[in-house]
Amino acid sequence: MSSELRLKKLRGSGGYVMATVTDQQQMKGNLGGPDLFLAPMGRLDSQKITKHFCNTCEKEFEGPPKIKYENPNEEVAENLILAEKGQYICNSCNAVIAEYREFRKPNETVEVGSAKPLETSQTTQISQPEPVQVKPEITSATQPGPATTVSSIEGLAVYDENAKIVGKAKQVGIDSNQSVVLLVIKNDGTEGSIPWNSIRKVGEVILLGSPAVAAQLGKCANCGFSNKEGSKFCEECGSKLQ
């Protein structure tokens, strides 16, 4: 494989950068289409970036954007550490051009396990899903209060958008994308996870929304990352949003 540097356009959800990258970096940024994406490449050497374009400014600027990052080194799942997360930021208006996250496995011979659960203390709170009108079969669901505690949802029945029960809530966790998920024990006894923003209502039961609603909220069909409303490309993997 050639180590020659090539000048390429690397797209993000809020613009793009022009940078010289290696063949290996191009492979990371290639998601199967003609475009290359910045998010899968992580943090680039700013000296390799020659220009950046901001969608908010609708203007191309000479030189690299600002790159802000932190190293949380936080365990987000069994054998999966969030080593670094950062943003490429427009020098002019401070809009985010792209975001990235870099993970590492402490033990490369072991597969990644379940998402790390949140502490189930009475003080832990999750933002309230938007209330909606439910189907007659489950109209007993009560209106949630200003916030929903983690412990209050354990054992609640989980219904899909067609009012069919899919299982019972086990606990709340965080997946590898640092997104809050609801861990569910399915009807067949296996465990699964549901993105928190797919929950339409929490009361005496938990009501899920339709996939179309999740897509409108910027959920990536490729990696499941929940992007900011209005994003055109996924800030996690760079895929084009529906």
Looking at the structure, tell me whether residues 124 and 152 fall in a common domain.
yes
Residue 231 included in any domain: no
Residue 80 included in any domain: yes
Looking at the structure, tell me whether residues 121 and 93 fall in a common domain.
no
Looking at the structure, tell me whether residues 78 and 100 fall in a common domain.
yes
pLDDT of the residue at 147: 41
Looking at the structure, tell me whether residues 161 and 199 fall in a common domain.
yes
Domain count, the chain: 2
Looking at the structure, tell me whether residues 127 and 95 fall in a common domain.
no
Looking at the structure, tell me whether residues 211 and 121 fall in a common domain.
yes
Both structure tokens of 66: 């600002």
Which of 137, 114, 121, 147 is CA-nearest to residue 207? 137
Looking at the structure, tell me whether residues 123 and 86 fall in a common domain.
no
User: Is residue 1 pLDDT above 70, yes or no?
Assistant: no
User: What is the spatial distance between Cα 117 and Cα 193, in angstroms, rounded to a whole number?
Assistant: 11
Query: What mean pLDDT value characterizes the chain?
Result: 76
Both structure tokens of 54: 């901001």
This model's pTM is above 0.75: no
Domain with 84 in it:
6-104
Return the top range by mean pLDDT from 95-104, 106-115, 191-200. 95-104
Looking at 37, 72, 104, the residue that finishes a domain is 104
CB within 8 A of 85, min separation 6: which ones? 69, 70, 72, 99, 100, 101, 102, 178
Both structure tokens of 195: 């993105």
Residue 180 included in any domain: yes
Higher pLDDT, 86 or 203: 86
CATH code (residue 140): 2.30.30.240
User: Is residue 128 pLDDT above 70, yes or no?
Assistant: no
DSSP state of 239: P
User: Is residue 182 pLDDT above 70, yes or no?
Assistant: yes
Looking at the structure, tell me whether residues 77 and 124 fall in a common domain.
no
Contact 181/115 with Cβ under 8 angstroms? Answer: yes
Residue 228 included in any domain: no
Residue 132 is which amino acid? V
Residue 214 is which amino acid? A
Residue 200 included in any domain: yes
Checking 58-62 for CB contacts under 8 A at 24+ apart, the result is: 59/92, 61/90, 61/91, 61/92
Looking at the structure, tell me whether residues 73 and 150 fall in a common domain.
no
Residue 171 included in any domain: yes
Q: Are strands 199-202 and 206-208 parallel, antiparallel or unpaired?
A: antiparallel
Return the top range by mean pLDDT from 66-70, 130-134, 236-240. 66-70
Both structure tokens of 214: 């999740």
